[in-house]
Structures are given as structure tokens and as C-alpha cells.
Amino acid sequence: MTTKQPDDLANARLFLAEVAGDLDLDAQMIEDAMPYLLGMTKHVAHRAVRPAAPLAAFLVGYASALAAQDTDGSTLETVRSKIGSVEKALEQWVEPREGEK
């Protein structure tokens, strides 16, 4: 695991903008959604289990893409709505005890 650096967030923004361009995605929408997604993944990692954090972000993106096909395309609001669903699931999450897994 690497240690945090002061410019990690700035570098993440640059990297994600480049990847967004490579994937033909709106880089500004990624920038706008970033604080919500980072908050959600932090909560998933700390309240549920760390490996679920990036997969929860994928599920939000996947669900948002499917929902956007049926809406006017207000993607950020869709992403925020799907993050709300994950946050609700976290509120109800109870980690299985040993032997219940």
C-alpha cells in the first residue's frame, strides 16, 4: 500500500479526466460526481468491507447508465440517487459473524 501524497487528489482528477476522454465520457460529469463517489466508497470501505468499495462504485455507474437510457440524461442526479441506494444499504448492513459467512 502506498502512502498518501498531498497531490493525490489532483493527480486522480488528471488521470480520471484522461480516462474519461479515452472512454468517450464527459470529463466534467466525472469531476462533478467525484466527491459523491469518493464519499460513498469511503463509507463502504469503513462500514462494510474494503474490497466492496470499488465494486459499489461500479454498480452505481452501471445502474446509472441503465437508468440514463430511460431518462432525460440528467446523469449526475442519477448517480447521486444510486449512491443514496448504496448509503441506505450501508445503514442496514450487519457484518456476518464468524461461521455465518
Per-10-residue mean pLDDT, the chain, length 101? 82 91 90 95 96 96 84 77 91 80 59
- In the chain, the number of structural domains is 1
**Long-range contacts for 49-54 (Cβ within 8 Å, ≥24 apart)?**
49/95
Q: Is residue 59 part of a domain?
A: yes
Residue 86 belongs to domain spanning: 28-92
pLDDT of residue 39: 96
Q: Is residue 99 part of a domain?
A: no
Q: Is residue 10 part of a domain?
A: no
Q: Is residue 97 part of a domain?
A: no
Pairwise CA distance, residues 92 & 73, whole Å: 30
pLDDT of residue 72: 67
pTM: 0.76
Q: Is residue 77 part of a domain?
A: yes
pLDDT of residue 67: 84
Pairwise CA distance, residues 33 & 17, whole Å: 12
Q: Is residue 36 part of a domain?
A: yes
pLDDT of residue 1: 57
pLDDT of residue 36: 95
Neighbours of 41 (CB within 10 A): 20
Q: Is residue 47 part of a domain?
A: yes
pLDDT of residue 13: 92
Q: Is residue 4 part of a domain?
A: no
